[in-house]
Amino acid sequence: MTNSAENDLILVLGGTGKTGRRVVERLEALDLPVRMGLRSADPAFDWEDESTYAPVLEGVRSVYLSYSPDLAAPGAPAAIRAFTAAAAGAGVRRVVLLSGRGEDEAVACERIVRDSGMEWTVLRAAWFAQNFSEDYLLDPVRAGEVALPADGVAEPFVDADDIADVAVAALTRDGHTGETYEVTGPRALTFAEAVAEIAGAAGRDIAYVPVPAEGYAAALKEHGLPGDVIDLLMYLFTTILDGRNSEPGDGVRRALGRPPKDFASYVREVAASGIWNP
């Protein structure tokens, strides 16, 4: 049902990403018609090509709006403004925005969505637990050393499954319109503590090494990462990771009536899969 032409389609932007993939899985399990907004899909969707907006919005009732790479990236507000205008014009009724917790740039994008005329719900998230198993921290964990420009600041790592559960509730049920949910885990950990929990569950020695920001940026460049990706990561580590998000939020409990998933539960499940063993 990923390409239904019915008028109750739910569009999931970034449908193969950490949260988008989970949102799609849950919607399909509910037997709801889903369309994924991807360059490789039909119709194709590309944030940088506004001509792709109208075709992908045809017949769509609700949208899970996840902007890649991040709402703090240059050009994000302009893209969000153009897309939400196209969505409202196409008759979309509801939009659920994945936003950045503690990001001033993301707040500007939230304002655009709020002013769009559509029903809206905002999900503010910061560091995903899944960064250690589905993203750029997986290889360092497997190699036995995680080196980051983060020393002593605690973060309540949020599980992507919780984000997806809140998003699906907001997309499919009443009672979430006009809500801004701070979605986090139930407790804050430093990166060193998080790596220690992973090491314990995996039964391996995994070191955590705090490094200077300049050295980390240079290492990323040596590994061939694009400049815009490096700039975004450095912004997240040197600006957002300053303690502003250390206090856990209550978004998961408010939206779902249950506590958020603890980092320890995530670690146990992933360790059992063996993905952290080299």
Compute the mean pLDDT over every residue in the chain, rounded to the nearest whole number.
95
Q: What is the pLDDT, as a whole number, of residue 1?
A: 40
The pairs formed by 15-19 with CB atoms below 8 angstroms and a separation of 24 or more are 15/41, 17/66, 17/68, 18/128, 18/130, 18/134, 18/135, 18/160, 19/66, 19/98, 19/160, 19/163, 19/164, 19/167
Residue 125 has pLDDT above 90, yes or no: yes
E strand or H helix at 99: strand 94-100
Q: What is the pLDDT, as a whole number, of residue 8?
A: 87
Residue 2 has pLDDT above 70, yes or no: no
As given in the structure block, the two tokens for residue 69 are 């790479």
Domain segments of the chain as ranges: 9-126+159-185+247-260
Q: What is the DSSP letter of 128?
A: B
As given in the structure block, the two tokens for residue 139 are 């290889």
Q: How far apart are alpha carbons 114 and 120 in whole angstroms?
A: 6
Q: What is the pLDDT, as a whole number, of residue 229?
A: 84
CATH number of 9-126+159-185+247-260: 3.40.50.720
Q: What is the pLDDT, as a whole number, of residue 130?
A: 98
Residue 60 has pLDDT above 90, yes or no: yes
The pTM for the full model equals 0.95
